Each structure stands twice: as C-alpha cells, then as structure tokens.
Structure 1
Amino acid sequence: MATRHTTHQTDAMTETQSTHTQATDYDVVVIGAGPVGENVADRTRAAGLSTAVVESELVGGECSYWACMPSKALLRPVLAQADARRLPGLSASVQGPLDTAAVLARRDSFTSGWKDDGQVRWLEGTGADLYRGQGRLSGPRTVTVTGPDGRRSVLTARHAVAVCTGSRAQLPDLPGLDEVRPWTSREATSARSAPGRLVVVGGGVVAVEMACAWQALGSRVTVLVRGDGLLGRMEPFAGELVAEALTEAGADVRTGTSVKAVTRENGTVVVLTDTGDRIEADEILFATGRAPRTDDIGLETIGLEPGSWLDVDDSLRVTGHDWLYAVGDVNHRALLTHQGKYQARIAGAAIVTRAAGEPVQAEKWGAHTATADHAAVPQVVFTDPEAASVGLTLAEAEQAGHRVRAVDVDLSSVAGASLYGDGYRGRARMVIDLEEEIVRGVTLVGPGVGELIHAATVAVAGRVPVGRLWHAVPSYPTISEVWLRLLEAYRDA
C-alpha cells in the first residue's frame, strides 16, 4: 500500500519542501478527477488497489461546475414555467418573467459556489490519494505532478494509468477572437447576469440549451447555425421543433449562416456573417465543438500525439499501450457524462481483472463485464420542448446497412400528453430492424420526454424483440403510452 499524501499535507508544505521531488508507487494512477476519474478510482479502490488521483482544477470536473449541473439548474425553472403556462388555472399566475437573480443563486448552490470541498471528502473517503496540480506522463507507467506551489511528485503505476481529462470547448480560427473575450460553455453556465443581447454560434446541444436558458432569463438571443438545422445528430424533426419553440419564445434562429468576423467595439460585440449581416450583441457564445484535453499531459513521452483523441479498445485500453487507459471524452466515443461514467465502470473492471492476472472476457453482458458496448447511447436535450434519443437515427441505420423502417407518432395524440396542458406538441420515432425485429433507435421530442428515454434505452441495449414489447404494458394515462402507439403504427404500416 502506498504512503498517503493528502491535499491537507500538500497545502502544509513549506517553501523549502515545495522544490522537493517525491516518488510514490501506486497500483493505479488516474489523471483527472471529474465524474469519470472519480468512478475509475472508486472501482479500483473498492477492489483493494492503491490509487492516486491527479486534478489540476476542481474535483468533480466539468460536469459539476461548468456543464451538466449548472446548465440544468438554469434550465429547470425555464421548463417548469413553460409547463405551467400550458395549464389552464395556473397559466395566469406565471405570465411574468423569471426571477433571474434567484435562478442564478440556485445555480450557484448546485456548484457549491465553485468550491469542491464536498467532492474532495467523497474522493478521499474512497481511500484514494488526491494530488492537486498538473499531471503529465513522463514515460511508461509514470506520472509527474507539478503542484500549485511548484512541488513535484512522481507517481508510478504498477498496473494502470487512466487518462480521464475530458474535453474543452473548441473555438474557431477567427482573427482577433481572443480580444473579443467570447463565451464558451464555461462562461455560459457561470455568468453572473443575463446579457441584454447574446449571439449563440452553433446548433448542437450546448447552443440550443443555452439559447433556451438565456432567452428565458432576459437576453435577446440570436442563434447562428452554419448547417440547415439544429441538433444535427438527432432526427431532423427534433431540431425543427426546438427551433420553432425558440423562435416563438423570441429568439432569432438563422440557419445556413456562418460567422465571417467578430470584433468588440467600445464593449459591444460586432458580428459579421457570410450572408452580409451585421449583428451587435453584449456577449457571444461559441458552441462549435469540443477538443480533447490531452495537449499538456505528456503524451509525447510515450509516442502519442499531444492534443489528440486517444484510440481505445472496448476495455478502454489505449491502442499499443497495455497499461494505459483513456476513459470518457478523451476517447471520442461518446462525449456525455453518463457514458463516461459507464466507461469508467468498464475500465475499472478491466484494470482490476488484469491486475489479478486474469483475462478480460469479450462478453458484453453482465454487471461486472470489462467490455463496453456503445450501441445504445442515450441523450436528453433539456430545452422546451425536450428532445431525447438513443441508438441510431433512420439515416444512420440505413448507412450502416440495416434494413429498417421508421414509424412516427404525434405525441399530442397520446392521452397522457393532454395532462401536460393545452397546445402540447411532440413527436416520436422508432427505427425497427426488419430482419432482426428489434429496435435500433428511438427519438422523442416534447415536454417530459426526458423521463421516457431510459425505457427506450433498455429496448435498444437489450435488443428486446418487438413481439415482446407488446407485453410491456404502459400505464394509463401517461405519455409512456407512446410505446403502444408506435407498435400499433408499425403493425398497421
């Protein structure tokens, strides 16, 4: 067992000690203490492996402080108000604007004021050692940590190093962009007040969620989308319904539009588009993609390209390195917190199995499998209306060579939808493999559909035969009755 060096000990180091380099052996070293790294460490510690975790920012990572939690804290009042406004008897009571200051204060509580004390206590409660500082590979199975005070710690891993450093916002190559001080997802989720005018560049999840949030919190939002619609990785109708709702809420959604130049003049952001428009705003958010946070973790010392996505097998082990694992966003398989945590469970099982000298089985099923499956990746977009999907879209299934049929249902026809209030709008699609008679993918759009997607995930991940789904009876009156309507549409087609 390695000697423990907690954060408290590190903070107590004297100026003389800060220049000392100390070497410590562990079974496992984890770089990155977001949800993914935390889960890898939890699994390896539970199996009795000594584990060190290295974090350069806040324990809890992007999800806890700049992504999932603060963004959903911003959006929940927006969706609750939208739901209430659809209900006769309640709508008249909620016609005023949201209390922006109260929403932001509640958002702050979700991030614990951007302090990680609670997360640190949880991590150290697992028995893992936390090292604060920049962790860099310095050769095979070796990580050198440079702490905030300059102190260096060399950590060697007997069995595995897990890179769990996540991803960061990728900004476009526009001259002078640094001087504009653009927002990324971090600034959009942590802003202290609503800008009067906000330009959002992009049409993906971050773009539409933040456009929805800040429009409702008092900003005049303009969305600039290079492509022909929003949410391009979902079925086309998902983006269409979300764009329609954003427009009705007051946002200006412009498709087929790219930013040609952007400057800040006397505090005002000036955006020039390729369509010849000039747009003025107080802030501009670029939500135009993600890049791996692997540029400063020493990949060059083991023959890998700094700043690259890391290629892995289904046990999350990096190609060509039998001791190195890349878990979560850094392997580019699915840039979602829940999928990263799933991968962490798989990687943890693989590390523990190999540490015991046992082979990792190729079997994909079972609670302790060490092989990841990515056929059923669910996602929820917390806009009004919500959009949720899992598995393949119709186009993706056809491109993959499957013989499929898509069946569509208007969600407003489901009895449970009427309980959500007047004017419910939504749509559901199920993509069925005609040869195997299983569900390849499901997309749902409408208020409340985020809570339906796990049932769809079970159907896709479990490859449940369509014939058996007839016997999974949905409760009445809930919007889960859409499953029955989809099966009827398939039968009657």
Structure 2
Amino acid sequence: MSGQTFDVVVIGGGPVGEVAAERAAMGGFKVALIEHELFGGECSYWACVPSKALLRPGNLLAAAKRMPGVVVGDALDPAQVLARRDSFTGRGDPQGQDHGQVDWARGVGVEPIRGHGRISGEREVTLSDGQVLTARHGVIVCTGSVPLTPPIPGLDTIKPWGSRDATSSSAVPARLGVLGGGVVGVEMAQAWARLGAQVHLIITGKRPLPRLPEFAGDLVLAGLRADGVIVHTGSGIDEVSAVDGGGASLKLTGGEDLVVDELLLATGRVPATGSVGLEVLGLPTEGPLEVDESGRVSAVDGGWLYAAGDVTGRALLTHQGKYGARVAGDSIAARGRGEDISTAPWSRYSATADHHAVPQVIFTDPEVACVGLSEAREGSADRVVDIDIAVAGSALFADGYTGKARMVVDTDRGVILGVTFAGQDVAEMLHSATIAVVGEVPLDRLWHAVPAFPTISEVWLRLLEAYGL
C-alpha cells in the first residue's frame, strides 16, 4: 500500500466516515477509509446501538404495566437483555466483530484500511505502520469525539466507567454512581436501574437535561425516581478514593459520602482532533475543526481538507454527522469533477440544517424528542406555545399518560422554529416536526395537515388551536 494514491482518503471509519466515503465513491472516485479500531465506530459498538438495546426492554416492560389486562412480570432478565445487546454489536462473532462493515465498504467501492491515520502533508496521510497514502482531491476527517474527564481529586485511584463501559458491561453492578445529567447520564441511569442496579445520579442543577425546556427535565426526573434512581440534585463529586476490595468512595458536594461499585463519568465529549496531525498544517490540536457549509476546513489553503461529524463541533449526534458527511462527500466529488457547486442555504452542498433543524431523541421513559429552537429568540416576537399531551390517542395509549409539548413560532413569518415533545413513545412524532421546521411550512397550511384519530399526533391540532388557529 506504500505510496498508493486514492482520489479521496477518509480518516475515521465510524458511521460518519462510512457515509462520507460512500458518497465520494458514488461520485466515481477511488476512496480509502482508514479506521484504527472497529469499522462502524462508536455508535455501532459502544453508543447509540447498544444503549438503545439496553433501554428498549425496560421501556417496553414499563409500557405494558401501564395497560390494564396485560399480565407481565415484575423484572427484566438481565442475561437475556445483555445477550440481545451483544447480538446487535457483533460481540463474539467468529468472523470478527466488524466483518459486516468491512464487507459493506468493499461492496460500495471503498477500500477499508486498518491503522491510525495522521495528516503528514498536503493531501497526504501516513498510517501507523509507515504507509503513506496520497489523495488527489482531498482528505475528509471523521474522527468523532472522545469523553471529557473532569478534574476530580483522587479519580486516578480508581478505574471509572466511561460511556463505553456503561454500554458494554457484561454484569449488572450492585451500586452504580453516575456523574452528569445529560443524555448519557439519564439514559444509562435508567437502563441499569431497570436491570437491577442501585443507581445514584449526581447532577449540578435542579433537574437533568438542563439544555432542554424545564418540563422535559422534570418529567425525566420523575421517571428516574419512579424507577428507584436516587438523584442528588445541586451536587457534584469533590473527591474520589478507592475502596478495599473494589469500588469507590465518593465525597459529594455538601459533605455526603457515597460508596459505589462503579462510577460512570457522563460529563460530556470533545472533538477528537488531538491525534489527526493537524499541527503539520499549523492548526490547533484541541477544539473543533471549523468547516464551511460544504464541510471544507476553512483555515486550510487549497480547499483539500474536509471534516464531518463530531470532530467539527457542530452537532454531536450520529444522524447529524451522517448528514454532514453526505454534504462533504458530495461536495468533494463534485468539485473533483470540476463542477461549480452552490453552497447557498438548503442546497445539496450546504449543511444548513446544522443551524436550524437538529433533531434529537433522549430514549428514557418518558422520552424527549426535540428539533430546532426550544426557546424564543432574544429580542424577537417569537411565541412559545406549551400544552399537555392530552388527546384521545394518548389516553388510549397508556393509562395515566403524562406528557407535554412545546412549539416555538416565528410570528412575523408564521412558521415553526422548533418543537419539543416529552412523554411515552414521542420519538416517532419527531420527524413530522423536523419536516415542518425544515420546510418552513406556514401555520395556515399546516392547519390542513389533518392528524389521524385516535393517535397521539392529534397534539399537532391542539398546538395550532392553542396558538389561535
């Protein structure tokens, strides 16, 4: 492989890199995809897929218990839940955990190469074994993100869980401490509590999910407590020390002492730019790679370096990263063919949705699903409409159904800027909200989108009625 030339070289073989490579290959280019761990990346083996596999059985059991006449057991079978999770991540596959992804890459005309790739010059990537790959048209960096470790005294005396440990553990810890009330923190706290762990969730504020509307955090907080999660609000960890025989002693903010068998650090992630070789280009090795709307790294002359996904710092979500990868892959292919492309908003070569319509689901019970803005813009005439999810469809869906919905409206243009749903199984309503935001559907036209009866989607009609239509 030494000295081999490709049209495009992609560093990072997770979902984002795979999509970027595929799109470039679809443009007729010879593409190399470099991955130093498993092809398929974080999402496939340690994040989105296994976490949702852990959450789904508990959500299903809870939903069944809310329906009179359905006879169910009182607990999950952890062994079966963990085995089903492993079936999704390929653990124990005799052909290799990621052989399916390798076969897929070759099937779409992409050459998968194992190794750690670093940029070593203009349009040049050097692998950990010394091989040098040259890219005729460009390099796309899709290295994702890495966990952010907080500076807690004594943390080095134990081996804390990261998100990978939380999603791949082969046993249920008796006592689990979780630091952080973001998405990973709340999802893993509920998943392991429902599998039998005594879970302590430690958060700094009054409620989890502080970036979302308060009602979303309050509903998730109630759901966690209903599952036995002990939530320490307004708290943190001031010091950690190892316990003889295993485990950790935590001194919480305020003086409370807590002993756990495992401590999950769910304190955020940062772009993985430290080992890409950016210093060769005079770029910082910390922080995101800033890109233009087509995915091209703005600070590099010659327009040959692109990036997509978490490494850009735009929206640390797999689906949004894959969206950016489609844009970057298409853009590098079109420019390589000599085409004059448009990066105007909402064009095929512009990742416009990163700024206006980022959808996200928190797969707790209750779920939270949101897209676009969750608050009115400062100094604007935007209007926020909040209602309970209380329609015939929700009453039939579950006894005691509790949920809320928010719609943020640009009153000057009469279009929706954002929607937030919180309640059991609201995730499947999110794409309708995303279409409304991306399409800037006028409210007086949306009025004619008649929701089927009796479904939870009737909440759309109630939102429009509350607005005054």
Question: 1:171 — aligned with what?
Answer: 149
SS at match of 2:117: strand
SS at match of 1:143: strand
Q: Name which of 180, 183, 199 aligns with 2:158.
A: 180
Q: Deviations over 1:25-80 (max 9, x none)?
A: 11100000000000011011111111111100000000000000000000110110
Q: Name which of 46, 50, 56 aligns with 1:66.
A: 46
Question: 2:349 — aligned with what?
Answer: 369
Tell whether the 8 Å contact from 1:430 to 1:441 is kept in structure 2 after alignment: yes
SS at match of 2:330: helix
Structure 2: 5+ residue runs without aligned partners?
A: none
Question: 2:323 — aligned with what?
Answer: 342
* Residue 398 to residue 372, structure 1, CA distance change in 2 (3 Å): closer
**In structure 2, C-alpha distance between the alignment counterparts of 1:345 and 1:402, rounded to whole Å:** 33
Tell whether the 8 Å contact from 1:67 to 1:186 is kept in structure 2 after alignment: yes
Q: Name which of 100, 104, 126 aligns with 1:118.
A: 100
Q: Deviations over 1:115-148 (max 9, x none)?
A: 10101100111111111111001111110011xx
- Does 1:136 find its partner at 2:118? yes
- Does 1:480 find its partner at 2:460? no
**In structure 2, C-alpha distance between the alignment counterparts of 1:42 and 1:372, rounded to whole Å:** 21
Tell whether the 8 Å contact from 1:312 to 1:326 is kept in structure 2 after alignment: yes
**In structure 1, C-alpha distance between the alignment counterparts of 2:332 and 2:283, rounded to whole Å:** 21
SS at match of 2:397: coil
The alignment's TM-score, normalised by the length of structure 2, stands at 0.96
SS at match of 1:104: helix
- Counting only pairs closer than 5 Å after superposition, residues 307-456 of structure 1 correspond to structure 2 as 307-321=286-300, 322-365=303-346, 368-374=348-354, 375-394=356-375, 397-399=376-378, 401-411=379-389, 413-456=390-433
Deviation at 1:370, TM superposition (A): 4.1
**In structure 2, C-alpha distance between the alignment counterparts of 1:157 and 1:227, rounded to whole Å:** 48
**In structure 1, C-alpha distance between the alignment counterparts of 2:295 and 2:425, rounded to whole Å:** 34
Q: CA RMSD in A?
A: 1.2
The alignment's TM-score, normalised by the length of structure 1, stands at 0.92
Deviation at 1:365, TM superposition (A): 3.2
**In structure 2, C-alpha distance between the alignment counterparts of 1:403 and 1:237, rounded to whole Å:** 22
Question: 2:221 — aligned with what?
Answer: 243
Q: Deviations over 1:347-388 (max 9, x none)?
A: 11110111112222023335x434433210000000000001
Tell whether the 8 Å contact from 1:269 to 1:282 is kept in structure 2 after alignment: yes
Deviation at 1:230, TM superposition (A): 0.9
Question: 1:161 — aligned with what?
Answer: 139
Deviation at 1:421, TM superposition (A): 1.9
Q: Deviations over 1:412-457 (max 9, x none)?
A: x211001222111100011111111110110000011000000000
- Counting only pairs closer than 5 Å after superposition, residues 447-466 of structure 1 correspond to structure 2 as 447-466=424-443
Q: How many residues align?
A: 461
- Does 1:214 find its partner at 2:189? no
**In structure 1, C-alpha distance between the alignment counterparts of 2:332 and 2:25, rounded to whole Å:** 11
Deviation at 1:307, TM superposition (A): 2.9
**In structure 2, C-alpha distance between the alignment counterparts of 1:429 and 1:323, rounded to whole Å:** 42
Question: 1:75 — aligned with what?
Answer: 55
- Does 1:45 find its partner at 2:25? yes
Structure 1: 5+ residue runs without aligned partners?
A: 6-21
**In structure 2, C-alpha distance between the alignment counterparts of 1:295 and 1:274, rounded to whole Å:** 32
SS at match of 2:131: strand
SS at match of 1:460: helix
**In structure 2, C-alpha distance between the alignment counterparts of 1:278 and 1:256, rounded to whole Å:** 15
SS at match of 1:161: strand
Tell whether the 8 Å contact from 1:315 to 1:372 is kept in structure 2 after alignment: no
**In structure 1, C-alpha distance between the alignment counterparts of 2:439 and 2:66, rounded to whole Å:** 36
**In structure 1, C-alpha distance between the alignment counterparts of 2:105 and 2:125, rounded to whole Å:** 19
**In structure 1, C-alpha distance between the alignment counterparts of 2:203 and 2:399, rounded to whole Å:** 30
- Does 1:25 find its partner at 2:5? yes
SS at match of 1:82: helix
* Residue 436 to residue 214, structure 1, CA distance change in 2 (3 Å): same
**In structure 2, C-alpha distance between the alignment counterparts of 1:36 and 1:193, rounded to whole Å:** 30
SS at match of 1:301: helix
Tell whether the 8 Å contact from 1:179 to 1:263 is kept in structure 2 after alignment: yes
SS at match of 1:94: coil
Question: 2:258 — aligned with what?
Answer: 279
Q: Name which of 40, 61, 66 aligns with 1:86.
A: 66
Q: Deviations over 1:180-232 (max 9, x none)?
A: 11111100000011101111100100000001100000001111101232111
Deviation at 1:343, TM superposition (A): 0.5
**In structure 2, C-alpha distance between the alignment counterparts of 1:372 and 1:407, rounded to whole Å:** 25
